[in-house]
Amino acid sequence: MPTRESRRHLLCAVCWVLVVIVVLLAVIIYLATKEPDCKDDSSSVTIETTKYGSIDGKQVYRYTFKNKNKIEVSIISYGGIVTNILVPDKNGKVEDIVLGYDSIEGFKSNGPYFGAIIGRYANRIAKGRFSIDGVNYTLAINNPPNSLHGGVKGFDKRVWKSSLKDDKLILKYTSSDKEEGFPGEVITMVTYQLTDNNELIIEYSATTSKKTVINLTNHAYFNLAGQGSGNIFEHKAIIKAEHYTPVDSTSIPTGQLASVSGTMFDLRTAVSLGDRIPKVPGNIGFDINYSFGKTGWMKYGARLLFQQRFWRQQKHTCRPPSINLVFYLEQK
Ligand SMILES: *[C@@H]1O[C@H](CO)[C@@H](O)[C@H](O)[C@H]1NC(C)=O
Ligand SMILES: *[C@@H]1O[C@H](CO)[C@@H](O)[C@H](O)[C@H]1NC(C)=O
Ligand SMILES: *[C@@H]1O[C@H](CO)[C@@H](O)[C@H](O)[C@H]1NC(C)=O
> How far does the centroid of ligand 1 lie from the alpha carbon of residue 266, in Å?
20
The pLDDT value given to residue 177:
98
**Which ligand has an atom closest to residue 126 CA?**
3
Q: Contact 248/127 with Cβ under 8 angstroms?
A: no
Pairing type for strands 287-291 and 271-272 reads unpaired
CA dist list (Å): 208 to 50, 71, 169, 183: 32, 36, 22, 9
Residues lining ligand 2, Cβ inside 6 A = 131, 136
Q: Contact 214/208 with Cβ under 8 angstroms?
A: yes
* Dihedral sign (CA 64, 228, 114, 289): negative
Residues lining ligand 3, Cβ inside 6 A = 123, 245, 253, 289, 291, 324
Which protein residue has the closest C-alpha to ligand 3 atom 5?
291
> How far does the centroid of ligand 2 lie from the alpha carbon of residue 208, in Å?
24
Please count the structural domains in the chain: 1
CA dist list (Å): 51 to 54, 74, 247: 8, 12, 42
Contacting residues for 107 by C-beta, under 8 A, at least 6 apart: 76, 78, 79, 81, 83, 100, 101, 114
Distance in angstroms (rounded) separating the CA atoms of residues 213 and 146: 16
**Which ligand has an atom closest to residue 246 CA?**
3
Which protein residue has the closest C-alpha to ligand 1 atom 9?
324
Residues lining ligand 1, Cβ inside 6 A = 23, 25, 122-123, 215, 217, 289, 324, 326
Please give the number of the atom of ligand 1 that sits closest to the Cα of 123: 5
> How far does the centroid of ligand 3 lie from the alpha carbon of residue 119, in Å?
17
Q: Which residue range(s) make up the domain with 251? A: 4-331
Q: Tens digits of per-residue pLDDT, 265-290?
A: 999 888 888 888 888 877 677 888 88
Using alpha carbons, select from 145, 169, 174, 332 the residue that is nearest to residue 252: 145
Q: What is the dihedral of CA 53, 23, 286, 247, to 10 degrees?
A: -120
> Which residues of the chain fall below pLDDT 50?
1-40, 299-300, 308-311, 318-322
Q: Contact 316/26 with Cβ under 8 angstroms?
A: no
Which protein residue has the closest C-alpha to ligand 2 atom 14?
136
Using alpha carbons, select from 5, 247, 252 the residue that is nearest to residue 128: 252
The pLDDT value given to residue 33:
35
Please give the number of the atom of ligand 2 that sits closest to the Cα of 131: 1
> How far does the centroid of ligand 3 lie from the alpha carbon of residue 85, in Å?
29
Q: Contact 196/44 with Cβ under 8 angstroms?
A: yes
Please give the number of the atom of ligand 2 that sits closest to the Cα of 134: 13
Which protein residue has the closest C-alpha to ligand 1 atom 2?
122
The CATH number of the domain where 116 resides is what? 2.70.98.10
Residue 168 class from Cβ within 10 Å (0-12 exposed, 13-18 middle, 19+ buried)?
A: middle
Please give the number of the atom of ligand 3 that sits closest to the Cα of 243: 5
3-state secondary structure of 97: coil
